[in-house]
Amino acid sequence: MSTKTAISPTAFELVSGLEIHVQLNTKSKIFSSDSAAFGAKPNAHISPVSLALPGALPKMNKEVVGKAIRMGLALNCTINQTNYFDRKNYFYADLPKGYQITQDNKPVCQNGYIDLVLSDGTEKRIGINRIHMEEDAGKSMHDQDDHYSFVDLNRAGVPLIEIVTEPDIRSAEEASVLLTEMRKLVRHLDVGDGNMEEGSFRCDANISVRENGTEEFGTRCEVKNLNSIRNVRRAMEFEFNRQIGVITGGGSIVQSTLTFDADHGTTAPMRTKEMANDYRYFPDPDLPPIVISDEWLAALKAGMPALPREITAKLMADFGLNNSEASIFTEDKELLDYLNAALVLVKNPKNLINWLTGPIRALLNEQDATITTFKVSPAQMAAVVNLVEEKKITQQIALQQLLPAIQLAKDADVAALAGQLNLLIVENADELDGFVDQVLEKFKPQVAAYKTGKKGVLGLFVGEVMKLAKGKADPAKINELLLGKLK
């Protein structure tokens, strides 16, 4: 009598592909002139087209096509210069037409890839199967009334692109890095705002497992509407372990659509997974094929900016930054623009970078502001950095007194303002020498301790001299005077 050998959970590998939905930041919807803005009162941004009233016909928003192509170029895709829209048929209360206009057999972009750098420094290439354009559905609200569900159609017809990867992801970390890079690209190319909290950047994850060394894919389950990178990781890790548990327990995976419970970190079935033929795709008869001319495609290619990965490499090479420091700029296009505007005006670029990644970043967080609302221009910031570099003002005084004054005095001349406020470093050597003598006289026991080898008290002396100088002294000069006298 033979017994079946138990399979170890470590004998399995994760196989995953992502479907990333990006809401485009166009002013109007994909097939109508209705506003696509977020945050309006329910059903304020609607029209006969959004409501799918009889006789209402869609009209293509050209900007949507341009943004989809830009994303495709960034992801090394082939651009299908003739592509068309299809109808994806299904019924739901927030889908007024009873179908969604999307792209099936001939999407705008296909066969691309993105290269990722993982935490251990290794590189991983993830294939991009396709990017297609489509309209969003409305929003059903089930918690507004005890007896009825409410429907808000503001979102109906808002333009989306869906980026579908190949099933090349083998870990939750790879998925996390992929989403981080995708969101970076979306913002950098000004395709969308990448805001997961508002639902304008969201993700479905197809997850299956298979035994290590096998080529055949397992049965996949799709986890829908993941709204944070952290939740993508959590859902993937839970579902990987759940599927292994089912298989090693002698069961089989049922292809299904799942929801993720963020409070408990678990997945649960929503419905069995639809197959493509359930949607009865066919070409939309109301929309002609989209034909992208050679001239327009060439113009879009010529207008592509340097991509985040290139910018990161350049920042690292030019200024000695590490990857995480450089990523601060590639993740924030406005901050990168601010840096570039100020760089040409500073004497020491690395000092400017240190200011922006350190004190200024902390200040913006404290004020709940962004670099676009920061009331210090790049030229003024450069002037502040130069004053500190030239030892005309201390960094502490510049941060605590000069910057707040600049924010209140629009278009102020930074050097003149620092002089008016009496913030510049004291140049009177005799006065500074006197301050040093006062401190050493006041702290005689600490002076004696210093001479027995307790060098840590030197910081106390520097701080006390700075107090007497009201912060307007060069710490390096104070240090020099102190060491001279303590010898």
Question: What is the per-residue pLDDT across 44-83, written as a single tens digit (0 to 9) for each?
Answer: 999 999 999 999 999 999 999 999 999 999 999 999 999 9
The phi-psi region of residue 274 (left if phi > 0; otherwise alpha if psi is between -120 and 50; otherwise beta) is beta
pTM of the model: 0.80
> What pLDDT is recorded for position 238?
95
What distance, in Å, lies between the first and last C-alpha atoms of the chain? 90
Q: Which two tokens stand for residue 262?
A: 């963020």
Query: For residue 271, what pLDDT is reported?
Result: 67
Q: For 116-171, how does the pLDDT look when each residue is reduced to its tens digit (9 = 90+)? A: 988 888 999 999 999 999 999 999 988 888 899 999 999 999 999 999 999 999 99
140 neighbors 149 (Cβ within 8 angstroms): yes
- 474: its two tokens: 């060069």
Q: What was the pLDDT predicted at 327?
A: 86
Spatial neighbors of 296 by CB under 8 A, at least 6 apart, are none
Residue 463 is predicted with a pLDDT of: 79
Q: How far apart are CA 80 and CA 440, in angstroms?
A: 77
Across the chain, mean pLDDT equals 89
Distance, in Å, from the CA atom of 381 to the CA atom of 88, rounded to the nearest integer, reads 52
Pairing state between β 123-135 and 86-89 = unpaired
Nearest-angstrom CA–CA distance, 142 and 92: 13
What pLDDT is attached to residue 7? 61
Q: Is 137 left (phi over 0), alpha (psi -120 to 50) or beta?
A: beta
Which domains are delineated in the chain? 9-294 (no CATH), 306-420 (no CATH), 429-486 (1.10.10.410)
Q: How far apart are CA 45 and CA 36, in angstroms?
A: 7
Encode burial over 149-184: b for 16+ CB neighbours within 10 A, e otherwise: eebbbbbbbbbbbbbbbbbbbebbbbbbbbbebbbb
Instruction: Kindly give the parts of the chain with pLDDT less than 70.
Output: 1-9, 271-277, 426-431, 471-472
Measured from the Cβ of residue 285, the count of other Cβ atoms closer than 10 Å reads 8
Q: How many CB atoms lie within 10 A of CB 240?
A: 21
Tokens of 168: 């090349």
pLDDT attached to residue 455: 78
CB atoms within 10 A of CB 395: 19
**Phi and psi at residue 355, to the nearest 5°:** -65, -45
Work out the percent of the chain whose per-residue pLDDT is above 90. Answer: 63
Q: At a CB cut-off of 8 Å and minimum separation 6, what does 271 contact?
A: 256, 257
- pLDDT, position 430: 66
Predicted local distance difference test score (pLDDT) of residue 394 = 85
Q: How far apart are CA 108 and CA 72, in angstroms?
A: 8
Q: How far apart are CA 358 and CA 364, in angstroms?
A: 10
381-407 tens-digit pLDDT: 999 999 999 888 888 889 989 999 999
Sheet holding 282-283, edge to edge: 99-102, 86-89, 282-283
Phi, psi of 397 (to 5 degrees): -65, -40
Q: Are β-strands 82-83 and 123-135 bridged in parallel, bridged antiparallel, or unpaired?
A: unpaired
> How far is residue 338's CA from residue 353's CA, in Å, rounded to a whole number?
11
- Give me the pLDDT at residue 427, please: 65
Beta bridge partners of 12: 211
Pair 18, 205: CB distance under 8 Å:
yes
